[in-house]
Amino acid sequence: MKTIRVLKNRFCESLYLPYLIIGVAGITLLCFFSQLFTDVSGEKYTIIQFLLKNNKKELSLNNSISYYTIINAGMNGWIEIFGPAFLTMSYALQTSAEYKNRALNYTLPREGLKNYVTTKLVSCVISGGIILALGFLTFCILCIPFQGDLMPADKDNLKVIFYGLDANNKAMFYIYRFIRLFLLGMYLTIPGIISCIFFKDRYILFFLPVLISYIYSQSLNYLISKAIYKQDFNMINKLQKISFNNIKMIPNNKQLLLYFALLIVCITTLILLCYFVVKRRNRRGTYA
């Protein structure tokens, strides 16, 4: 019962309204600044640029832009890079504050080190999934008024979109899409959690997750390009599976369960790492 009560308090901290609003707004803006299409002249259009154009109908017809094209494009772009900063903002700021005001001197004896670390990381991970899903939901809602200026999605186009997520209809498409985005949000908290384990300065904790995510993404892209050059298709497939970008496109529910299992392994590892780091600092009097 004590653990459940502590976990409930941690969720209230992680979803603290001002930080929740900032996180959701940040994810929504990242969706709007995703690239939508490139016209015949080579000019690239982001979603926000397209929606602010006066000739949206003409551009929509010429480039086959429907509502579903827009919401699919909204998941691309900058979410994997900048998302970790918005998803772990509350966790990072509270961790920094606990270190600076020496709150752990009172928290650890009352809650216990095991409960403290476990509830803090679990609440951060689940809150990250919630914030990403809410941010994308807000983006989808804000795009609805523009449907009248967009090309209607034909049946063949919808079949392709639904098939990509193993969905049979619009309702299942949205359910499967948000489940995958929730999972992606949980994965994107990992760079922020790693940063908080080793650093306490709030400015570092806001920008370091972005740097970690960027380095991870660029390293994977480099390895994939090398594998393409060598025509090592087996390696390409393996590298793509561990890309953040691949999580939101998981083709079937069986693979989805595998990604959930892998997430549990990653979070368990981080909990153990955080436990030993905090325990060692506490013994050394770092929080005294």
The pLDDT of residue 2 is above 70: no
Neighbouring-strand partners of residue 45: 37
In the chain, the amino acid numbered 160 is V
Q: Hunting for tokens 């998941």 — which residue is that?
A: 75
CA distances, 159 to each of 118, 155, 167, 172, 252 (Å): 42, 6, 9, 12, 15
Count how many residues are written for the chain: 288
Averaged confidence pLDDT in the chain = 85
Its pTM stands at: 0.91
Residue 56 burial (CB < 10 Å; 0-12/13-18/19+)?
middle
Is 70 exceeded by the pLDDT of residue 287?
no
Phi, psi torsion values for 36, nearest 5 degrees: -100, -55
Q: Give the Cα separation of 240 and 245 in Å (integer).
A: 8
Count of H-run helices and E-run strands, the chain: 16, 2
The residue with tokens 């050059």 is 229
Q: Residue 137's pLDDT band (boundaries 50, 70, 90)?
A: very high
